[in-house]
Structure 1
């Protein structure tokens, strides 16, 4: 049995830094806008891969025990005992936890070990709205230090290319990491990430000794009114007129994108009534900051009796940040990436009666007591150019770095 740790609202609060963050503005990605400043924490669950067991079953039992109907997402009234206090819950699942659920290697250790691999926080409404986070005070960010050099990153791209040539995989998503020291309170800076253009899952989640700031545009999984959908993003160009034309015309980007659409169709088929999986929108070009990205929407009718645990096992980790076939790609990721993915490439969002909405934690930053951590990468296919892949990862990280280093 998993040994996830559950705590009630009270916790020891330190004098400064991220240990004070749980008393700040609650602004969980995908939470209803009218609730974000009217939430108070009731209880939380933390789980780490070292705890063992099944985190999906553990979190389903935890949320059910706190009045959230997650045992049958097709019929959210099943097993639901009304509780007027409960608004909903934040859920975070790391990429390592997702790999654990898939039966794959979890990769090298996380560079931000203070952050648990799964967090669920149940919130009640409060009649006293919390105020704005404010501006960073005494904020300073040092130089960013990558976990691999551009040369090492390019070598990993070539290793994936060789694996594709052998027939091991069709596509592998490679992710790099960078870290920077900071002083001051990180939460105001992390909160500003939500204002970046296209940040559908903008917001924060905090705990003792850690914080996550998200500016993700990508839906990992959403369940509403008996429908389940995902919106994979794959394909990137500068947000110029020429960049948009190039993205639409690129056979390489379109082929990479279609591979992931097929993978996501397969993942949703495990959750859906037979024959209901559809591609609602294919290769739509949308903007995130100064980049164009290609996005598709795949949906299905939720199968009767589908619980949260089975949903997490089917969709985690996300196909657009792993590759195809997913299990084979995860083995290559674990062997090639120099550090763990930490807060990056996981899931973060909101669960409430009748609604579940989890974003994929791309464009996401974590803070531990003295460092910021940022992950970025891209999908590698047979046609990938190593230098172009290194440049694409840098372009995805650049808006986050720029905002975080602004006083």
Structure 2
């Protein structure tokens, strides 16, 4: 476990913060005060570590139902990243294959305060960006075979649905941060932004809300169902019985996840199967909300919703077992949680459409949900379509 106290971070030059879901009115005054980094091998419960670390640094989220006020002159809140492996670990499920990017922590908490004046503009970065060819961790044939294996597991009654995710990596030279930060500009990137540390960085263009607290309610917006962003694609998505069944299954899973930490009888589906656009794709999104139970803290909330149901499957623990058996490498920064937490504010996105860098390579994860009605070739093509805008933007000089 790594902790960098305020003495370590205050010596760093300050620059404008573009963290996913950070308060818009505070971004140009945020300054790092404390940092926690953790990996699955460190042991302990990462969700409890988050809650305790935040409370120790002035961000008390041990009762989300209690009203809280943002202090414009004190501690603002914290950027939070929790990997899919950390979420599975906290939930008592298998964490999957080893990560292809071990430099990336499984948990990052960066507490920010407010500076007296706006940060200066970012200094110009040296040119010389080059990105090599992407190398996938499995072939299209391997991916298709994994889809077939999931369908067999569904046929046996082991699971109802499993989300399969592939990984690709590419060598690079130059500074990866500008490339990763550009992901925030992709259309529909609700959780666009970047987070970095010593020897690692990640950039996100996710449109999907894993969990948020809005107007006193817990809110999740699962996305499941994809088609090309054409009029024909929209009609096909709306008419697809397979996509709708897959989607409703995950909505039910999210309802059950929220019910574990909600006031009895307060869970509701506010919107079902709304079709929205992300880059060149139509995707189906629903909104599920609930009133938090009295005394609900951030740790219990994270344990209830992580890893996200739309990137695991149903039942969640059985789906995690299938994922661990079938995916050749770990999910690293993909399919986890990323966003902002603070007094009266929780807003965490699911790290789909997310790339990460270590000292030598960029990493990217993409996949999709598999049901009995899935066609292996179509699932391989869907994962490629989701990754294509990210690959294209990262290659831009």
The secondary structure found in structure 2 opposite 1:369 is coil
Residues 7-406 of structure 1 aligned to structure 2 (within 5 Å)? 7-11=4-8, 24-77=15-68, 84-126=73-115, 127-132=117-122, 137-406=127-396
3-state SS of paired residue (2:25)? coil
Shift of 1:6: 2.0
- Given the superposition, is the C-alpha separation of residues 37 and 51 from structure 1 closer, same or farther in structure 2, using an over 3 Å criterion? same
**Preserved CA contact (<8 Å) 1:38 1:130:** no
CA shift for structure 1 position 76: 4.1
In the alignment, which residue of structure 1 is the partner of 2:3? 6
CA distance in 2, matches of 1:305, 1:252: 39
Q: Distance in 2 between matches of 1:406 and 1:5?
A: 33
Shift, 1:187, TM fit: 0.7
After superposition, the C-alpha distances for 1:235-279 in whole angstroms (9 at most, x for unaligned) are 000000000000000000000000000000000001210001000
- The number of residue pairs the alignment matches comes to 395
Give secondary structure in 2 for the equivalent of 1:175.
strand
CA contact (8 A) 2:39 2:107 kept: yes
- Structure 2: runs of 5 or more not aligned: none
Q: Once the two structures are superposed, what CA deviation does each residue of 1:207-247 show, in whole Å capped at 9, x if it has no partner?
A: 00000100000000001332001000000000000000000
Distance 1:179 1:390 in 2: 17
| TM-fit CA distance, 1:102 | 1.0
Structure 1: stretches of 5+ with no match in the other structure: 14-19
SS in structure 1 at match of 2:183: helix
Structure 1 moving runs of 4+ over 4 Å:
10-13, 80-83, 132-136
Alignment partners' CA distance in 1, 2:200 and 2:43: 22
User: How big is the shift at 1:37?
Assistant: 2.6
- Cα 1:195–1:83 shift into 2, 3 Å: closer
1:167-209 residue CA offsets vs partner (Å, 9 max, x unmatched): 0000000000000001111111111100000000000011000
